[in-house]
Structure 1
Amino acid sequence: MPEQNVSAVERALKILDVFTDQDPDLSLKELAERTGMYKSTISRLAGTLESCGFLMLSGRGRYRLGPALWRLGSIYRRSYRMDDIVRPYLSILVKESGETASFYVPEGSNRLCLFRENSPSSLRHHLEEGAILPCDRGAAGHVIRAWGNGVDDRAIEVLGDRFAQSEGERDPDISAVAVPVLDRQNHLLGVLTLSGPSSRFTKDKRDNLLVSLQRYATDCGNQLSA
C-alpha cells in the first residue's frame, strides 16, 4: 500500500479515537482541535468514514460514531467466546450480591467495560458496555495496572492480595471490589468486578462476597483458557 494511503488510514483512525463517553458528538472545529488536523482534511476523511458507516453527521452539523463500529465490536466480543462464558458469571454475581457485575479488559493505558449486568435496584452503579475508563482509579483499574506495568506500592499490594477494593475513587458515591481473571499461565484475561453505592455496598459486604468473586474468576479463567 502506498505510503500516502497508509497515512490517510492513520489519520482516519485518529479521528475515530478522539470520541469519548463524555464527548459522544463533536463539531468539525472540535475534531480539528483534538486531532491537530486541518478542517479540510477532516471533512474529506469524515466523508469517507460516514459513507462506510463509521461516522454519522447530525442535523446540527456534529459528528458521532456510526453503527459499523458496534457491528465490529460485537464480532470482536463473540470471536473470543467471552460472551457465552462471562455473562453467566455476571448474572450469578448480580443475583448473589444485588449489585452490578462487570468484566473489564485492558484498552491501551485505560480499561474497557466489555460486559456488564446492572443491579436490579433503582439505586445502582450504572454504566454502559463499551465505556472506557482510566486505570489510575477504581478497583478494576488497580487490578489491570498490577498485572500490567504498575510498579507503585498500590500495584504491588494488589498483586500480593490478588484483589483490589475502592471506595469513592472514580465516583464519590461508588464502591467496588475486583479480582483478576487469569489464564493457566497467569496472564491477565480480564477483571471481574462488583460495584454499587457506598451506602449499601459496604466494606463488610465486599469482604463477604470476595471469596465467591475469586472462585468465579478462577472458573471463568479456566473456561476461557480451554
Structure 2
Amino acid sequence: MDSARRVLKVLLLFTEKGPELSVEEIAHSIGISIPSAYRFVSLLREMDMVEDNGKGTYVLSPRVLLLARSAEQAFPASKVLHPFVERLSKATGEAALVIRRVGDFATRAEISQPEHTIRLSFEPGQIMVLAELPDIVSRGWSKSEAEVDEGVWAVAAPIKVADRWWPR
C-alpha cells in the first residue's frame, strides 16, 4: 500500500466514537511502524488536518469541516430531496431519510425527524456496510429491524433522480 493511501487511512480512523487517537493506535490500526505513523501524523499536522490535543493524542482539526461543507455542496440532489423528505415525515409522523451509496457503503444524505422519544442516530458521513445490496436491488425494497438504532423498524426503496437511481 502506498503512502498516500496510508495517510488517507489515518484520516478515516477518526470517528465520532473515536475522535482521539495516539500514534500507537494509528500504527496498530493501519499495520505500520510507529515511525511511519509519526511521519503521517506530521504531514497531516503540516496540512492542518489534525492537531495535538495536549493529551498525547491527536484529533481532527476544524479544517476538516470545510471538506464536509464542500461534500454537502457537491451533492445537488439534496436540494431536491429535502422538501420531499420533510413532507414525507410530516405526512407519516415518522422519520424520513435518504441514504446515498458511496462505494460499498451507505451514508445519510438527508433526514427529517419529528419530535419523538426515539431519534435516529445515523449522522451525515456515518457509513453503513451495504452487504445485501444485490438482493435489495432485485427486490426493489428493503427492511431493517434495529440494525442501526435499537427499537427502530424501517423500510427503504431506491429513488430515481434525473434518470439515476439512488443509491447508485
TM-score above 0.5, yes or no: yes
Task: Provide the residue aligned with 1:23 in structure 2.
Answer: 18
Equivalence for 1:76: 71
The alpha-carbon deviation at position 80 of structure 1 amounts to 3.1
Paired residues of 2:100 and 2:107 also in contact (CA < 8 A): yes
Q: Are residues 115 and 24 of structure 1, via their aligned partners in 2, closer, same or farther at CA, if it must alter by over 3 Å?
A: farther
Q: Counterpart in 2 of 1:182?
A: 160
Looking at structure 2, the residues matched to 107 and 78 of structure 1 have their Cα atoms a distance apart, in angstroms, of 16
Question: What residue number does 1:128 align with?
Answer: 123
Q: RMSD across aligned C-alpha pairs, in angstroms? A: 2.5
Name 2:146's counterpart in structure 1.
168
| Structure 1 residue runs of 4 or more that deviate by more than 3 Å after TM superposition | 158-161, 169-172
Which has the larger helix fraction?
1
Q: Against the structure 1 CA distance between its residues 77 and 60, is the aligned structure 2 distance closer, same or farther, given a 3 Å change threshold?
A: same
Contact 2:122 2:148 in 1 (8 A): no
Amino acid in structure 1 at the alignment position of 2:113: N
Contact between 2:120 and 2:149, CA under 8 Å: does it hold in 1?
no
Ranked by relative contact order (alpha carbons within 8 Å, sequence separation 6 or more), the top structure is: 1
- Runs of at least 5 residues in structure 1 that lack an aligned partner in the other structure: 1-5, 137-141, 192-226
Other-structure match for 1:11 = 6
Describe the superposition over 1:79-118 as per-residue Cα deviations: whole angstroms up to 9, x where unpaired: 2312311221221122122222222112232211122233
Structure 2 CA distance for aligned equivalents of residues 41 and 160 of structure 1: 45
Given the two structures, how large is their TM-score scaled by the length of structure 2? 0.83
Against the structure 1 CA distance between its residues 69 and 188, is the aligned structure 2 distance closer, same or farther, given a 3 Å change threshold?
A: farther
> In 2 relative to 1, CA 113–121 (structure 1 residues): closer, same or farther, beyond 3 Å?
same
- Displacement of 1:176 in angstroms is 0.7
What are the equivalent positions in structure 2 for 1:33-112 lying under 5 Å apart? 33-112=28-107
Fraction of identical pairs, as percent: 23
> 2:44, 2:32 → 1: CA distance?
16
Partners of 1:169 and 1:8 in 2: CA distance: 35
Instruction: Note the alpha carbon deviations across 1:13-72, whole angstroms, 9 max, x for none.
Output: 121122334323222111111111122222222122123232232222222233333212
Whether the 8 Å CA contact 2:141–2:156 is kept in 1: the answer is: yes
- Tell me what 1:201 maps to: none
Change (3 A) 1:66 1:190: farther
Structure 2 vs 1, CA of residues 162 and 59 (structure 1 numbering), >3 Å: closer, same or farther? same
TM-score by length of 1: 0.64
**Residue identity opposite 1:189 in structure 2:** W
